Chain A
Amino acid sequence: MKQYQPEHLSEVQLAAVRRSLSSGRGALSRRSLLRATGTGALAMGGIGALNACGIPPASRAGGGAAASDDRSAEEKRIAFSNWTQYIDISEDEKGHPTLDAFTRRTGISVTYTEDINDNVEFFGKIRPQLAAGQDTGRDLINVTDWLAARMIRLGWAQKLDPAHLPNAYAHLSPQFRSPDWDPGRAYSYPWAGISTVIAYNSGATGGRRIESVSQLLEDRALRGRVACLSEMRDTVGMTLLDMGKDPGKVTGDDYDAAIAKIQQAVDTRQIRRFTGNDYTSDLDKGDIAACLAWAGDLVQLRVDNPDIQFVVPDAGYLTSSDNLLVPAKARHKANAEKLIDYYYEPPVAARLAAYINYVCPVEGVGPELARIDPALAENTLILPDKAMAAKAHAFRSLSSEEETAYEEKFAKLIGA
C-alpha cells in the first residue's frame, strides 16, 4: 500500500513536514516519551518516598487497640474464614448442615469462605491490614496454633468474653485447656486437634512396616520415596521425639541436631519432597511410600485405599490444633463468640468430627459420635484414648527471634 502524501505541497514543503513529524518539536518520539515518564517516576520515587514506606511496629498498630466497636447487635451476620473441606457438607453439597442450623437458631447469617489453604500464605494475605490497624473483613478465622500464638503475641487478636462462651468453657477437653501461648484460652478456642503420625503405603513398601522416624530417614529401601511435612514444627518435632528430646522443651542445640539429622536424609536423597496437604495423592498412588502425615487425612484415605497404614511411633507423636480466633478490628465479635460456643455443644461437635475426622476438642462427644457411627467413636485418631493421649507432645511456643531463626534454618533445609 502506498503511503498517503498530500499532493498540493511542494517537494520542499513535504520534506519539512516529514522532518517536523520525525524529529521536530512536535514529534513525540519514544525516547522523549520515555524520558518524560522516567523523570516523573524518578521524582515520585525519590528518597523521601523510599523512607516513608516502613512498616509500623505491631504493638503501635494493634496492641490494646485490637478491640473495635462491636456491631453484633445491629448486624446479625459474621464472616468466617476456614480451611477447605474442614466442615460438614450436606448431601446435595450446597450447604453446611451445622452452619445452617446455627443460622436458623440465632438468626445470624454466616458468610462462610474457604480461603485458608496454608498458614503462611494466609498470614501474608491478612498481615498488611492488621499491621495498618484495619479490619480484615473477617470476624472469625481458623489458624494453626503457632500462627494463633503469633497473632496473639502481635496484639492482632481480640480477647474473648467468657460470659458468651458457657458451652465452650464447660466442654473443652483438658488437653486443650491451657496451651502455653494462650493460658486459659483468653483469645482462642480449638476447632480441631491435629495428630502428626507416620503413614505408609504397604503396597509401595512391599509389605514393610515403618515404625519410627529414624527408619523413615534412614531405611535405604525407601530411598527417594519418603516425604516430610513442610510445616516446620511437625517435621522437626517428630524428629526430636525420635531422638528422645521433648519438643515442648526444645533448645537451640536440640533443634540444630534435629535439622542435621534431617539434612542427612536430604543429602542422601532419602527424602523426595517436603509437602503440604498434597502428600495425600502421592501416598495414595505410591509415589511416596512412607511419610509424615496428619491423622485426619488418613482416616479418609484409608476408606478409599486399604493399603494405607499409619503408625504412632513408640517415641510419641506431635499434636497441634487449629484455633478459632477473632482478628483485631473485626466488627462482629459477639456473633463470632456465639458461633464458637455453638460448636462446643456435643451433638454439633459430633456432627463436625464425624465429617472432618480430626481430633475433637470437645469432652463428652463420644456417645453422640457413636450414635452417628460407632466405628468413628472407637477411632483413637478422632477420640484419643488414654494410651494415645499419653504419647502426645506439643511443640513449645517460640519467641519472635527464635521463630525467625528456626524458620530460616528449616527453609534452608527444604531448599530455599
Chain B
Amino acid sequence: MTVTEAPPGSPAPAGPLPRKQPVRRKLVPYWLLLPGILWLLVFFALPLVYQASTSVQTGSLEEGFEVTWHFRTYRDALGEYYPQFLRSVLYAGTATTLCLLLGYPLAYLIAFKAGRWRNLLLVLVIAPFFTSFLIRTLAWKTILADGGPVVDVLSTIGFLDITGRLGMTEGNRVLATPLAVVTGLTYNFLPFMILPLYTSLERIDPRLHEAAGDLYAKPSTVFRKVTFPLSMPGVVSGTLLTFIPASGDYVNAELLGSTGTRMVGNVIQSQFLRVLDYPTAAALSFILMAVVLIVVTVYIRRAGTEDLV
C-alpha cells in the first residue's frame, strides 16, 4: 500500500533519477581527464596555434608582425633548408638504428640473463640521466679530443680510414664531423631505446622459449619466431622515443658538429634567435613536425603494431 501511494505533489521518484545518472556517469572520464586536457591545451595546443599564426605572418621587429597569410614562407623555407631536413632524418635514423643494435642485446641480457644483477644494470642504464644533457655531451668533446686515446686507437686500427671514405670523418679526427654528431645522438638517446625494449622483453614468459625448444626450434629460430615478434611493441616505442627527439635535436650538432653537420634544429634556433625571422622559424618547426609525423606513420603502418595508433 504505502509503496504505491506517493504523497501528492512530490516528484515521481522513478522519473528523473535514471535519466540523470548516466549523464553524470558519462562525464566522469572527462572530469578525470580535465587536468591532462588543460595541460595539453595550455602547453601544447596554444603554443601550436601561436606558432601556426606566426608562420603566416610578415613584418619586422620595428613594424611588428601581422598575419598576412603568407604561405610562401613554407615553400621558401623548405626550398632553402631541405639539406638540413634530409640530414636530420638521416642522422636521427642512423642513431636510432645504432641504438637498436646496441640496445637490443643489452635489454635482452638484462631481461633474461642478468639474474640478481638486473636492478644494478638497470640503474647503470639510467645513471647518465643524473647529470645534465649538456654536460654529458660536452664530456664527449674530451673523450673524442683530436690527440686523445680513443681517436688514436680508432686511427691505428684503420677505422677512421673507412669512415673517412664514407664521408663520416675527416683526416685523423672525429670531433666536428658527422660521426661525432651521430655518436652523440646515439649515446644521449640510448636509454630511451633500452627501457621500452626491456619492459616488453621482460614480459615474455620464459616458458615460451622452453616450449619452442621442446618443438625442436634452434635458439636462432626461437629468437626469430618467438622473442623478437613478442618484443615488437618495445622495438616500435623505443625507435619512436629515439627517432622523434633525435630528429629535432640541435645540441649535439652544435657542440660536436661543424658547419657541414647542422641539423634542422640548428636552423630553427638560428632563424629564431639570430636572424629574428620568426615566421620562417615557425614554418620550419611545422615542416619538421609534418616530416616526423609522416615518417612515423609510415613506419608504424609497416611495423603493424596496434599499440600506438
Q: Which residues of A contact B (CB under 8 A)?
A: 25-26, 28, 33, 36-37, 41, 44-45, 49-60, 120-121, 123-124, 131, 150, 153-154, 223-225, 266, 269, 271-274, 278, 281-282, 285-287, 400-401, 404, 407-408, 410-411, 413-416
Contact = CB atoms under 8 A, between A and B. Distances in A.
- Interface range for B: 35 or more
B171 A224 contact: yes
23 contacts: A25-B22, A36-B30, A37-B37, A44-B45, A44-B46, A45-B48, A49-B53, A52-B53, A54-B65, A55-B64, A57-B62, A59-B62, A120-B274, A121-B273, A224-B171, A272-B258, A273-B259, A278-B255, A282-B141, A401-B60, A407-B276, A414-B262, A416-B81
A287 B275 contact: no
Contacts, number: 137
A281 B52 CA distance: 40
A224 to B, nearest CB: 6
Contacts of B73: none
Contact of A415 (B22, B26, B258, B275): B258
B92 interface: no
A114 to B, nearest CB: 16
A174 B50 CA distance: 47
A404 B65 CA distance: 15
B175 interface: yes
Contacts of B146: 225, 285-287
Interface of B: 22, 25-26, 29-30, 33, 37, 41, 45-46, 48-50, 52-54, 56-57, 59-67, 81, 84, 141, 145-147, 170-171, 173, 175-176, 255, 257-262, 266-267, 269-278
A400 B62 contact: yes
Secondary structure at the B interface, as helix, strand, loop or mixed, is helix
A273 B67 contact: no
A123 B273 contact: yes
Given A154-B61, A400-B60, A416 B266 contact: yes
Given A26-B25, A57-B64, 16 more contacts: A25-B26, A41-B45, A45-B49, A45-B52, A49-B53, A52-B53, A54-B57, A57-B59, A154-B62, A224-B170, A274-B259, A287-B146, A404-B60, A407-B274, A410-B274, A416-B269
B282 to A, nearest CB: 10
Contact of B175 (A154, A269, A287): A287
Q: In this complex, which of A33, A131, A224 has the most chain B Cβ atoms within 10 angstroms of its Cβ? A: A224
B81 to A, nearest CB: 8
Given A120-B274, A273-B258, A54 B67 contact: yes
B241 to A, nearest CB: 20
Contact of A50 (B29, B52, B272): B52
B54 A53 contact: yes
Given A120-B273, A407-B275, A415 B262 contact: yes
Contacts of A150: 61
Which 10 A-B pairs rank lowest in CB-CB distance, beginning with the nearest? A57-B64, A53-B53, A415-B262, A415-B259, A416-B267, A120-B273, A45-B49, A55-B65, A416-B262, A50-B53
B52 to A, nearest CB: 6
Contacts of A123: 273
A89 B15 CA distance: 79
B259 A53 contact: no
Contacts of B59: 54-55, 57
Nearest to A45: B49
A416 B80 CA distance: 10
Contacts of B261: 415
A415 B274 contact: no
B260 A415 contact: yes
A89 B29 CA distance: 57
Contact of B49 (A50, A55, A400): A50
A113 to B, nearest CB: 19
A352 to B, nearest CB: 29
A228 to B, nearest CB: 10
A280 B27 CA distance: 60
Nearest to B26: A26
A120 B275 CA distance: 9
Contacts of A25: 22, 26
A44 B258 contact: no
Contacts of B267: 416
Q: In this complex, which of B46, B259, B262, B266 has the most chain A Cβ atoms within 10 angstroms of its Cβ? A: B259
